[in-house]
Amino acid sequence: MDILTEALASMRTGRPTSVRTEGRAPWGLRLPSVAGAGFHVVLHGTCWLIPLEDEDAPVRLEPLKPIALSPGDVVFLRDGRGHILADHPATPAEEERPEHFRPGSPIATVSMGGDGARTSLLCGNYHLDQGRPHPLVRQLPEVIHLPTRHGRHPELSAAVQLLGAELENPRIGSDGIVPTLIDSLLLYILRAWLEAQPSAAAAGWAAALGDSAVAPALAAIHEAPSATWTVEALADRGGLSRAAFARRFTTLVGEPPMAYLTRWRMTTAARLLRESDAPLTTVASRTGYGSEFAFAKAFKREYGTAPGVYRREARVAA
């Protein structure tokens, strides 16, 4: 069971949106915070990313230093934090305006600045449900910066090169290829970051996904959320005692095994309600509940609303 793919799929609320940004020095673009996760890929040239403080954020965000970006660099902003992109930290930034946009690309293009050095980026956001983030995503750094030059992160680098080629020279099929590459980019980004963590220093989900006891238990929960799992049964998967397994699981995952099982059952149920027409009895059965009543009670406790109401509201929002 590919837990990373499942975790991201459970949070997705739509396809990613993106725009190609073309700047010639001096240029600066102020981007507001977005619902979801933001990303940037430097296709050509250099620039700076300057994170902004969000006064309206429910949680006070840590001050972050400006980040110098080079060709091939990829940046992922976990919470879609507002920020500035500019040729230099001292360059004044302006808001994105309709006159910046120009046609002629499989993705909308923003063009701005003067007549100096050129920078080309792919910018956008992934629509993720930040109201109920999966703990794997919640434990990620607020900003992930992945340079891909000099042989680093070869698969991510290959995806960036493919994107750059399609955007520089759109051909037949580009309208289908580019969105698919952008969609896959999120998995490449997170896989590259997770695999780059030193094994000796890895903690949280970066360690859990490779742990000989916790990883098999997580895979079992994701593969069969409807099974009658107990702490003992999950501990047997990793060859540990009940107590030792529960401690290790809680330390790495961030919550006890049964709490995570309930979380994943409810996450699976919400996804079924949003994406299928399965009857509530079927949703209950597929998430480990013996009756529609028991399932509805558990779902309302978790989401604050009845399953049928949740489904209707999700359909309207879509």
Pairing between β-strand 109-113 and β-strand 17-24 as defined by DSSP bridges: parallel
Domain extent, residue 40, equals: 3-196
pLDDT value of residue 99: 67
Question: For 60-96, how does the pLDDT look when each residue is reduced to its tens digit (9 = 90+)?
Answer: 556 689 999 999 999 999 998 999 999 999 999 999 8
* Domain annotation covers residue 201: no
Q: What are the phi and psi torsion angles at 267 (to 5°)?
A: -65, -45
Residue-wise pLDDT tens digits, 253-278: 999 999 999 999 999 999 999 999 99
Domain check: are 147 and 220 in the same one?
Answer: no
Instruction: Band the pLDDT of 195: cuts 50, 70, 90.
Output: confident
Give me the residues paired with residue 75 across strands: 40, 145
Are 136 and 37 a contacting pair, CB within 8 Å?
Answer: no
Taking only the tens place, the pLDDT of each residue in 292-313 is 999 999 999 999 999 999 999 9
CB-CB contact of 60 with 101 (8 Å): no
Same domain, 21 and 152: yes
256 lies in the same domain as 180: no
Phi and psi based region of residue 151 (left: phi greater than 0; alpha: psi -120 to 50; beta: remaining): left
Report pTM: 0.85
Whether 245 and 178 map to the same domain: the answer is no
Last residue of a domain, one of 154, 174, 196: 196
